[in-house]
Amino acid sequence: MRFAIFKIKSTFLTAVWPKVIRRPCFKEHPLVTEMKEKSGNGTAALNPWLIGENELKAELKKGDPSKPAEFVFGVSELEQGDIVSTTDQGKLFSIGLKNGDFSPNGKASAAKGFKSTLDFRRHLSEASQARESDILAYAEKIYTLFAKKDAEGILRESEVKINDYSKAFGGVDMKAELRRYLTVELFKSKLNKLNPAALRAVTVGPTNKIWHVFNGNDELITAKSSDGSMFELAVYIGLLDGKLKVVR
């Protein structure tokens, strides 16, 4: 899922899916992976995933093809501090799928293309092709940095992500934000043990050049705090100028 129109630096775009009825399942990388509830809503920030020529796409499947379902999704443009309503169906645009849009086997899809002034294609869709074995080896290296609580090493490997996020969200000091998150929150929690045999990588995006890495069914970096709360950090890896980097 990628998109759309960006006007000023303090503005960010949000995907919304406010209305789901009778157990549809929504699956799309990289922003939303799955929704299995009978009804629900959610949002996801789009700015870091914009590549100039963008597409918002939803692919759905009913949990029970014999039962009716509806789905609405769209894009809203928000200022810092704005609150997203659970009834928001997309202020820039919205697309609705009615029960009649689903096939007899319970499947439906819809998409809309958009242009954006933010353009991170060089680090996303135009990344070089990498070998899965190299991606997995690099993922182990990244995990080791977290296990050693090496904040500077993590920041160094995440330089592309940090710079892009700073640009995507209007010059926010993402390096300082990530350092604070690591040292104040994540490093004080217990990191899940890495299972090398369960380490896996899944290609995402329009050209399948970016790899989302997992530790089994969990994100590569998952930790549990003393109060029982969980921290997850998704890791996306790409090959840029001959070097593997954390790009998102």
The pLDDT tens digits for 148-162 are: 999 999 999 999 999
Q: What is the model's pLDDT at position 38? A: 54
Q: What is the largest CA-CA distance in the chain?
A: 54
DSSP summary character for residue 228 = S
Residue 45 has pLDDT above 90, yes or no: no
**Interval 157-184 mean pLDDT:** 92
Rounded to the nearest 10°, the torsion over CA 178, 180, 181, 185 is 160
Residue 28 has pLDDT above 50, yes or no: no
**Interval 15-31 mean pLDDT:** 35
**Interval 3-16 mean pLDDT:** 36
Residue 213 has pLDDT above 80, yes or no: yes
Q: What is the model's pLDDT at position 115? A: 82
Residue 116 has pLDDT above 80, yes or no: yes
Highest mean pLDDT among 15-19, 92-96, 103-107: 103-107
**Interval 222-241 mean pLDDT:** 93
What residue type is assigned to position 75 of the chain?
A: V
Half-sphere CA count of 86, side-chain side, radius 13 A: 5
Residue 6 has pLDDT above 50, yes or no: no
Q: What is the model's pLDDT at position 196? A: 94
Higher pLDDT, residue 110 or 238: 238
**Nearest-CA neighbor of 28 among 38, 17, 19?**
17
Q: How confident is the model at residue 76 (pLDDT cuts 50, 70, 90)?
A: confident
- In 3-state terms, what secondary structure has residue 143? helix
Q: What is the model's pLDDT at position 84? A: 67
Q: Is 12 left (phi over 0), alpha (psi -120 to 50) or beta?
A: beta
What does the mean pLDDT of the chain come to?
81
**Interval 46-62 mean pLDDT:** 86
